[in-house]
Amino acid sequence: MSLTAPAGNAASPETLSPEALARATGEAMYSTDRASQWLGMELQEVRPGYARMTMRVRDEFLNGHAICHGGLMFTLADSTFAFACNSYNINTVAAGCSIEFLKPVSGGDTLTAEAQEQLLSGRHGIYDIRVTNSAGEVVAMFRGKSAQIKGSVI
């Protein structure tokens, strides 16, 4: 899915539908997210409270056991969390998170992380991120707590 807005779309954030605002926010964030880009993460979809990203497991992502380093799986989940919790165009950061690694991942596999908002109350939110391999098997579960701060993304 391309998140690029149509050429000539000069709508202000206040006039966009929630879905269009989420896409525009995701596109703006991704354009400056050098870490996610460098790791080869691709932003597939963003909507209010939801994001999906993919990342191919390159050889340099493998640890001493020849499986994907947990820190890189964490980074994919964390980036996906960031896109989901910023989808309302309010600057939002992680206040805490945890991950459970459930299954090893081989080099060459493609991981998909899907973040889903579980609760948004005041300035705080809870998001669950499911990371799956190419076979659709859950390889990790990540839970993040978000905190809104001053400012907007776009």
Could you tell me the residue ranges of all domains in the chain? 16-152
pLDDT tens track for 102-118: 999 999 999 999 999 99
16-152 is classed CATH 3.10.129.10: yes
Residue 149 pLDDT > 70, yes or no? yes
pLDDT band, very low/low/confident/very high, at 27 (cuts 50, 70, 90) = very high
- Contacts of residue 48, defined as CB under 8 A and 6 or more positions apart, other chains included, come to 18, 19, 21, 22, 87, 88, 117
In 3-state terms, what secondary structure has residue 106? coil
Check residue 23 and give its pLDDT: 97
pLDDT band, very low/low/confident/very high, at 8 (cuts 50, 70, 90) = very low
Check residue 6 and give its pLDDT: 42
pLDDT band, very low/low/confident/very high, at 14 (cuts 50, 70, 90) = confident
Check residue 135 and give its pLDDT: 98
